[in-house]
């Protein structure tokens, strides 16, 4: 049985979820609740994805259409355009990670949401601001006030002593 790129990624993610579950098992209840709430469904969905990929590979007809990795590509999209779009997506993901590292999660996620919607999706200022405001409300209301999640400070906050 030969494993493809998607199979390897599924197994890797399942391993990460298992590590998160095992690591959180020793933590206090308040600390492990969030990790388990994310890792258990994540593990279940990853296992379902792996099983579907394995079953699909055995039953699907051979498709000779070009693709990136194991992802089929629409024949109407030239490979150069698909590659450029993929690079754009990864660039935005790295921007989000960089913002989280620099200013912390609580500031980075609403800021990223606003900037992405405003400049990449070209949404209106009202919609971009509204969605970013909802993100602030969720982070503060749900994660800070209800779940008492302690987010690590960003590097900038550490450098400035905040």
The full DSSP string for 86-138 is HHHHHHHHHHHHHHHHHHBHHHHHHHHHHHIIIIIS---HHHHHHHHHHHHHH
Domains of the chain, by residue range, sit at 1-59, 80-162
With a cut of 60, say whether residue 40 has pLDDT above it. Answer: yes
With a cut of 70, say whether residue 24 has pLDDT above it. Answer: yes
Pair 38, 30: CB distance under 8 Å: no
What integer best gives the mean pLDDT of the chain? 87
CA distance 36 to 50: 20
Could you read off the pLDDT of 140-153 as tens digits, one per residue? 999 899 988 888 88
CA distances from residue 152 to 6, 89, 94 in whole angstroms, order as listed: 32, 25, 18
Pair 153, 162: CB distance under 8 Å: yes
pLDDT band at 42 (very low <50, low <70, confident <90, very high): very high
pLDDT of residue 158: 87
């Amino acid at each position: 049985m030969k494993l493809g790129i998607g199979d390897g990624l599924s197994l890797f993610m399942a391993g990460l979820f298992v590590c998160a579950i095992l690591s959180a098992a020793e933590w206090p209840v308040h600390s492990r609740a969030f990790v388990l709430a994310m890792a258990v469904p994540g593990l279940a969905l990853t296992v379902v994805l792996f099983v579907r990929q394995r079953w699909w590979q055995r039953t699907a007809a051979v498709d000779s259409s070009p693709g990136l990795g194991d992802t089929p590509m629409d024949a109407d999209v030239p490979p150069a355009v698909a590659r450029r779009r993929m690079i754009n997506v990864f660039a935005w993901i790295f921007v989000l990670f960089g913002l989280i590292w620099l200013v912390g999660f609580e500031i980075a996620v609403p800021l990223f949401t606003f900037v992405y919607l405003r400049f990449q999706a070209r949404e209106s200022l009202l919609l971009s601001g509204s969605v970013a405001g909802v993100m602030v409300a969720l982070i503060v209301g749900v994660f800070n006030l209800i779940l008492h999640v302690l987010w690590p400070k960003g590097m900038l906050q550490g450098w400035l002593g905040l």
